[in-house]
Structure 1
Amino acid sequence: MKSHSDVAKVDKASGVAKTPKFLVSLAMLLVILSFVSTSVAAECPNIVIILADDLGYGSLNSYGANESHLRTPNIDRLAKEGRRFTDANTPSSVCSPTRYGLLTGRYDWRTDQKHGVINTTDPLHIDTSRATLASLLKSVGYRTAAIGKWHLGYGTTTHDFTKPLSPGPLDLGFDYHFAVPQNHGDASGVYVRNREVVGLRSDRTVPAGQSPYGRDYMGIDAPQRVDENVMDELTTDAIGWLQQQQEDTPFFLYFAPVAIHFPYTPSEKTKGQSGSGLYGDWIHELDLSVGRILDTLDRMKVSDDTLVIFTSDNGGVLINEGERPEAVAYRAGLRCNGALRGRKHSIYQGGFRVPFLARWPEHVPAATTCDETISLVDMYATIVALTEPPIPTDAKNAEDSFNVLPAMLGTSMPKPLRSSMIVHSPNGNFAIRRGPWKFIEGKPSPSLKKTPQRDELVAQLYNLEDDPGETNNVLNEHPEIAQQLAALLDKQRDSGRSR
């Protein structure tokens, strides 16, 4: 080991301290890395990913919703100025597994979460050693933020909201975090900023029925969210963060609105404005939020330099009987998932196929449509490829993410960008797609205590090109195709990757 006297020796002739070669080399390396990081970032667009909650395939005018039922001009602006995808899919038909997949490029069922979703007090679901979109972009000079619904847990064990919520998004590459911890109307009733509950007063619990904050949930001694104000407050926070960004530093905003998840609580600005009741009004609230984000980018004069992606975490909640807002909207004529079979939680296309719009002026062709099959898990590899030069990635990460940038940019695609794609429902039922074929395994997770939706738990095969509504199970007519797809599903699960 070198002594302190060895670290900096003095030249006797000049009296000037000499820096050892290893320190000179280290300094040069740091300068080079800094230059590379800065130069890579300088060539890259800003990135805004807007991930709506429970917005179905047929819930926008650009995807077929009639204007008599609802109007979505702000979101549809992205379709006019960018590219509309007709076969974009979520990896799961429920919330948190999709969020995990989008940020990591990895199917969530490769973790210990084989079914269901992350609960309000569950620990952080993404291992801090795993690369994320945020950590990769931060490594090349981006400023990063996660604002909106989180639904991926905090801490290392069942966490206490009165203690620092660490590890969390700040340990995954995000510089800033402001969020609803789980869902709109969740049991916490509070906001989280960075590592703390906003306005936390003490570690005491407010007894049920005695909350001075108007809600009797977990009893956290902090100001409680007002449901009708949440979308406005999340959007305002996102706008504030955007306006703080510097012109010479690119940014990545992961904005996850709580709309249109239940409860349906439109603000006074949107309540009663649609033709499909509270459900449609709540979609109007989402559209208002997106419009505010786009207007902010315009005012900042960065729209031309920003890739905006708008999509949803799973299909819509379809209910056609009773008096719930979804049923009221259905009777009014709104089909939240279009002509697709199924809904959120199901194994059918209504649970997975979602709106997907991409805008990047002069790069993504405007007012165009793409029929390429993509998954939200592909955002990782796609954004990595977007950087110039591409960010080096670890082969151990993003095991299921394919680069679908050619589909966004409208460049030549001699063959499908994805050879196959796996999806699963929250009860652990798997399906695999290859070309026009979709094979449903029909088995629940072995660890699941209850098996709802039993009608789905049978082996099925559909040709989505001939039968997009999945009305005709052709398993008996094509047993060889079902066997091939079943074997491919097993292979990709057992190998630990599909890419």
Structure 2
Amino acid sequence: MIFHYKNSLPRMLVRIASAMLCAILTIGTSMATSADRPNIVIILADDLGYGSLNSYGADESHIRTPNIDRLARQGRRFSDANTPSSVCSPTRYGLLTGRYDWRTNQKHGVVSTTDPLHIDTSRSTIASLLKSVGYRTAAIGKWHLGYGTNKADFTKPLTPGPLDIGFDYHFSVPQNHGDASGVYVRNRDVVGLRSDRRIPAGKSPYGRDYMGIDAPQRVDENVMGELTTEAVEWLDRQPNDTPFFLYFAPVAIHFPYTPSQTTRGKSGTGLYGDWIGELDLSVGRLLDAIDRMNATENTLVIFTSDNGGVLMTEGERPEADAYRAGLLCNGKWRGRKHSIYEGGFRVPLLVRWPGHVEPGTLCDETVSLVDIYSTLAALIDQPVRSNENVAEDSFNVLPAILGTQYKEPLRSSMIVHSPNGNYAIRSGPWKYIEGIPSPTLKQPPQRDELHSQLYNLQNDPGERNNVIDVHPEVAEQLAELLNNERINGRSSRLTTPLKHED
């Protein structure tokens, strides 16, 4: 039907009404989209082993972790969550990019304090992905992924850095707790930098000389509290109508063990246990902040760790004191941080999202922290496509998080890598260890794990019985798969896991 108007006024009114209707529909669609995209908080603890939480079996007489365990009660606990590396910065690279770190030029070791930015600014990260659909983003805590394009100069703007790979705000300890920088970084600059001259400085807890940056020096006992305050204050600044992503990386429980007066002496396992208590206190403050914002129902919280714990059974260090007191920081798993065994890679993974993740549930699916990228991409309806150079090793494990039905395992295989360049690959119940250190190491370490090994983790979760001579055909299949994965430049999504054989 066509209407004819004798003058322009009715036509103008119709146009105004149409414009208003379009605006209302657009706003409604925008609000619906925003409501479908939850706030996201990833908490990546440092060196927290599988057995270091009450929800993962630690006895309350040794440590108490009520705040972290609140996530287990209100969400889902994973029993087979793994880091891609048994050391810090390679895991952080893998989590943020969905790509194994050994695909870069770093085949062993970690990023040093003055190394350049390890993530190429052209590579997509979780932060840039979320920012592209309207999220406000922040990286607060331990960074350990470098700054700049050459050797970092902390007396000048540290660029490129986190702000160039998707983060709107950054506040960090540049490398490790007690690192040689001795300072904080906010966005692109050292906090409180006074000049480019060097100041007298002693040695870090690692025995290295402090860099002597002319700026206020961190006080180790205060770092966890100050990082947590930064995170809480950033959350408080977020508007109600914009989703946020917080990547919070506490320095606990990395050495040196420096609990605050609030947690010192409160555990049954000395400084090591007290430091776990400090981590738990920090997580509690973040969860309380989210509650105060009335954002709990629409916030996905992911808690995990960058590698296994530092297990020591002898000597006078705090880790050994905790062990003698009865704490098994990595639970039943063999090995520790830096090793190729499960204790280096198996970590706690707790996921809470009220109304979407069933509370108090357990998931036994094998997942890797590199899967977080693809999982979040699927969550915001931006799935990773196999023909893109994005998140090449990341799998969507959202069905495991949400508890939806799926037939085959979400991962057919998974590669892990130790800091000396030794590879292992898991498929089904099998784990094959190549046993060869990185050829780029000038002095390969003499370690008993540097030989070919095969374990059936279903029968032998403690990796005590090397069955490579019993099942050489399995070892050959896994060795071939490992080589193919390295050559292909991305993880295969076509193979099925190797089956169990007695």
- TM-score of the superposed pair, with normalisation by structure 2: 0.90
Q: Kindly report which structure 2 residues correspond to 1:346-357, keeping only aligned pairs within 5 A, or say none.
A: 346-357=339-350
Q: Kindly report which structure 2 residues correspond to 1:381-392, keeping only aligned pairs within 5 A, or say none.
A: 381-388=374-381, 390=383
Return the alpha-carbon distance in structure 2 between the equivalents of residues 133 and 238 of structure 1: 18
Q: Does 1:57 align with 2:50?
A: yes
Aligned to 1:454: 447
SS in 2 for 1:353: coil
Q: Does 1:407 align with 2:400?
A: yes
**Of 443, 462, 481, the match for 2:474:** 481
CA contact (8 A) 1:43 1:388 kept: no
Q: Kindly report which structure 2 residues correspond to 1:351-370, keeping only aligned pairs within 5 A, or say none.
A: 351-370=344-363
Give the 3 Å change call, closer, same or farther, for CA 172–476 of structure 1 in structure 2.
Answer: same
Q: Does 1:290 align with 2:283?
A: yes
**Of 202, 206, 210, the match for 2:199:** 206
CA contact (8 A) 2:202 2:210 kept: no
Q: How many Å apart are 1:474 and its aligned residue? A: 0.3
Q: How many Å apart are 1:159 and its aligned residue? A: 1.0
Give the 3 Å change call, closer, same or farther, for CA 388–33 of structure 1 in structure 2.
Answer: farther
Q: Does 1:491 align with 2:477?
A: no
Aligned to 1:279: 272
CA contact (8 A) 1:37 1:141 kept: no
**Of 140, 163, 175, the match for 1:182:** 175
For 1:415, give the aligned amino acid: E
Q: How many Å apart are 1:450 and its aligned residue? A: 2.1
Give the 3 Å change call, closer, same or farther, for CA 169–393 of structure 1 in structure 2.
Answer: farther
CA contact (8 A) 2:374 2:383 kept: no
SS in 1 for 2:348: strand
CA contact (8 A) 2:82 2:346 kept: yes
Aligned to 2:133: 140
Give the 3 Å change call, closer, same or farther, for CA 322–43 of structure 1 in structure 2.
Answer: same
Aligned to 1:265: 258
Q: Kindly report which structure 2 residues correspond to 1:68-83, keeping only aligned pairs within 5 A, or say none.
A: 68-83=61-76
Aligned to 2:223: 230
CA contact (8 A) 1:37 1:140 kept: no
Return the alpha-carbon distance in structure 2 between the equivalents of residues 463 and 294 of structure 1: 39
SS in 2 for 1:278: helix
- TM-score of the superposed pair, with normalisation by structure 1: 0.91
CA contact (8 A) 1:42 1:249 kept: no
For 1:306, give the aligned amino acid: T
Return the alpha-carbon distance in structure 1 between the equivalents of residues 385 and 368 of structure 2: 22
Q: Is the deviation greater in 436-445 or in 380-389?
A: 380-389
Deviations along 1:283-331, whole A, 9 cap, x unmatched? 0000000000001101111001000000000000001101100000000
Return the alpha-carbon distance in structure 2 between the equivalents of residues 386 and 392 of structure 1: 14
**Of 325, 328, 338, the match for 1:345:** 338
5+ long unaligned stretches in structure 2: 1-24, 493-502
Q: How many Å apart are 1:206 and its aligned residue? A: 1.1
Aligned to 1:254: 247
Q: Does 1:103 align with 2:100?
A: no
Give the 3 Å change call, closer, same or farther, for CA 390–473 of structure 1 in structure 2.
Answer: closer
Aligned residues: 465
Q: How many Å apart are 1:84 and its aligned residue? A: 0.2
CA contact (8 A) 1:41 1:142 kept: no
Q: How many Å apart are 1:50 and its aligned residue? A: 0.1
Give the 3 Å change call, closer, same or farther, for CA 483–289 of structure 1 in structure 2.
Answer: same
CA contact (8 A) 1:37 1:139 kept: no
Root-mean-square deviation (CA, aligned residues, Å) is 1.9
Runs of 4+ in 1 over 3 A off after TM superposition: 32-42, 207-211, 388-394
Q: How many Å apart are 1:421 and its aligned residue? A: 0.1
Return the alpha-carbon distance in structure 1 between the equivalents of residues 406 and 353 of structure 2: 19
Aligned to 2:116: 123
Q: How many Å apart are 1:454 and its aligned residue? A: 1.9
5+ long unaligned stretches in structure 1: 1-31
Q: How many Å apart are 1:35 and its aligned residue? A: 10
Return the alpha-carbon distance in structure 2 between the equivalents of residues 168 and 338 of structure 1: 36
Q: How many Å apart are 1:38 and its aligned residue? A: 7.2
CA contact (8 A) 1:40 1:140 kept: no
**Of 361, 372, 376, the match for 2:369:** 376
SS in 2 for 1:385: helix
SS in 1 for 2:79: strand
CA contact (8 A) 2:116 2:150 kept: yes
CA contact (8 A) 2:308 2:337 kept: yes
Give the 3 Å change call, closer, same or farther, for CA 196–172 of structure 1 in structure 2.
Answer: same
Return the alpha-carbon distance in structure 2 between the equivalents of residues 138 and 498 of structure 1: 26
Q: How many Å apart are 1:395 and its aligned residue? A: 1.2
